[in-house]
Structure 1
């Protein structure tokens, strides 16, 4: 019973593990934000481009690397998105997460926030982090994020499009299973592409939002399981177990010729099971009474049959030894009388048995007793002499509407 009751909540949890539409909307929102930021930075870089008049009616427009580096360093923060700037020839000009210092190349990474989750949530996160990557790979096959040491704009489709003058974004999956969103926009001066700005960051906020929703759903599921378990135990104790007890008692009664096995009395429950218990007890009592009546009837029949049989046996034994015709005729008359008596007795038994079977098969319905008695009185009155004043007269004084359940077809017969 518990497993059947858990099918609904389990299907709900399995369905909510996807949350595909919700996650897709969050990712699209992150990409839109990165595209807007990349466009702003690209516009600012476009304004810093230098314009040189090398030939008549020909301008050489190029990006100032130093101004671009200072602008990116001012805009970039450890908590913000990673900013990469590619030149029109697809080479990487600068990366906000990589800074060249005295000791060499320095990688900048933001520290994770302090862990303030509860014990239950940490346990859930451990299980979730173990299952979620494989689940996501099975459900959605996202492209894998690969980063080479000598990066090029051609390594990413959004920067390839940005070098061509188009803005775009996308989402990839990193080797550890986390998602990373990115967007790129072209830096232009007089509609000439002088570089491509790429912004990227892990979609941890999206994953955390989806994780939070799933954790809430699992909490609701745990509560539903607890309530369902309690309800199942209650129903098992209040319904299933009493029904099982009644069924066992009925089986014990069915398997015995003597109805000495009592049916449990559950009438104090005052519900359907109590009504069933009362009905079973009444049925058992009725069967017991019917069996007792059958035993008494069989004893009476045996007694009634034994008397004419005894007389018949005595007459038969005597008639063989009697030579007087008159006495033989009297004995034969006795034998014939006893045979007729047996025939009437057997006919009465047959009629009584047939009456019981007919009453069992007939449908009982209300019969107007006043109307039936009035018919009997009319029949009796019609047979009396109207001129005889001393003859008895019958008068019916009965409240109208008095009825009793009976087999109308047998009464008419």
Structure 2
């Protein structure tokens, strides 16, 4: 059989039959980019939920306290007129012993403030006012980001309807309380602090004799504490982003850079191989790329070496007949007086010219073969009909006495075998084998072409056999005969009718059709050439 073909690792399927998330690298990129963002979103939503819950809880606490205090004030600090007893109201505020960050104020219905726990208590808070200044770029950026986040995530955040604390002015809050309602709001005081305020009417029976306002100013401290609580989430997110970036660099960018450097070295002639075994063993697209690049460079190098060898062989084969022609011409000048020798020399020249013509034609066909194989599309071929049509082109030889004829036998018993291929190159294969067999056959012999069906495991194989009755092939030359320019012919066969390229072209065409070709000797004498093509 023919020499064993080199096998290469076949890369796994690419994106043709898979979605984006079928790619391991794509999954890695998506997971790594979303991990840090997910941590920030979960942390921010958790802290925002906690902050909103705290504000509502603070409001409810102040409402409960205000209800108790207004009830006390209504009982102890009002007169039957009805009216508010200002001194009694002030004494009640002093006895309440309010927390440090809670401030109580008492207003008359006309808006006059008559009591303030900050002034009536014995505690004096000394705190310098911060200087007035425009908010910085970071503060403005943070505010814009907060507004954007509220706009984007607001629709998906839970709402508390009536429990939510609205933002309104003290005047609006006071007007609601004077009319007998309960009002709560959040706003900034004159010191720039965020406060939660609750205002309730002080009533004598059903008459509003005053308004009690409770304010809590510890919200900023809670917010700062929550922001500090957010820092670990941010730190973890940054760390995750950094780690994933390093992993992506080491796992994707660096291997790709190694492949690019290796390709540049080959282009510059500093290396002949892409040597990246660590990348080829990877089970992802990077490994597929490394394997494909290795196979591509090996194929290119083999092609370059084959072209160099082909050029050397062409030069050698052309030199032989040219040397013979030149020698014959030089001898012809000196033997003009001998007609018999002159005729022999002219015959030698004619034979060598014929050999040159055949050689140049076959070289041209071989050089065009590769381009034709890439340009001509594959098609389904009924191999029995196709081989019969090629063999029928030799029917005209039957009228010549002593000519070598060609016969065809279909051993598939009418089975319709289809192969995927190109009619032009496959026709050249069959003609080359038939012409080769005819050149070795004695006059009047028959070259037998047979189509048979066999199997290679589960694969159905169409086998074409071309048999002659010539001297056969030396056992040690059964593989060598498929080499380029092999012309070692047995004694007695015609010389100069073959260039030595026919069988090498056959092997090249069959290899591109994922088949195989080999030669063997028949038991009764002669040679048999077999071609296997995978059937559909």
- TM interval, short-chain normalised: 0.5 to 0.7
- Which aligned pairs between 1:13-412 and structure 2 lie closer than 5 A? 13=40, 23-24=51-52, 26-48=54-76, 49-51=78-80, 60-79=81-100, 81-99=102-120, 108-109=124-125, 135=142, 156-202=171-217, 204=218, 206-256=219-269, 260=272, 263-266=275-278, 269-272=281-284, 273-274=286-287, 276-316=289-329, 326=339, 331-358=345-372, 379=409, 400-401=455-456, 407=513
Q: Secondary structure of 1:98's partner?
A: helix
CA distance in 2, matches of 1:336, 1:378: 35
> Kindly tell me: are residues 295 and 32 of structure 1, through their superposed partners in 2, closer, same or farther at Cα, counting changes over 3 Å?
same
Q: Secondary structure of 1:90's partner?
A: coil
Q: CA deviation at 1:185?
A: 1.2
Structure 1, unaligned runs of 5 or more: 52-59, 101-105, 112-128, 146-154, 382-392
Judge conservation of contact 1:79–1:110 (CA < 8 Å) in 2.
no
Q: Secondary structure of 1:182's partner?
A: strand
Judge conservation of contact 1:172–1:180 (CA < 8 Å) in 2.
yes
CA distance in 1, matches of 2:102, 2:225: 23
CA distance in 1, matches of 2:182, 2:451: 108
Larger radius of gyration: 1
CA distance in 2, matches of 1:216, 1:377: 92
What is the RMSD of the two structures over their aligned residues, measured on CA atoms? 5.1
Q: CA deviation at 1:399?
A: 7.2
Structure 2, unaligned runs of 5 or more: 1-27, 128-135, 148-165, 392-405, 412-447, 462-510, 516-530
Q: CA deviation at 1:98?
A: 0.8
Aligned length: 357
Q: Secondary structure of 1:97's partner?
A: helix
Q: CA deviation at 1:226?
A: 1.8
Judge conservation of contact 1:84–1:198 (CA < 8 Å) in 2.
yes
> Kindly tell me: are residues 95 and 356 of structure 1, through their superposed partners in 2, closer, same or farther at Cα, counting changes over 3 Å?
closer
Judge conservation of contact 2:107–2:210 (CA < 8 Å) in 1.
yes
Q: TM-score w.r.t. structure 1 length?
A: 0.66
Judge conservation of contact 1:263–1:277 (CA < 8 Å) in 2.
no
* Match in the other structure for 2:8: none
Q: CA deviation at 1:260?
A: 3.6
Q: CA deviation at 1:344?
A: 0.4
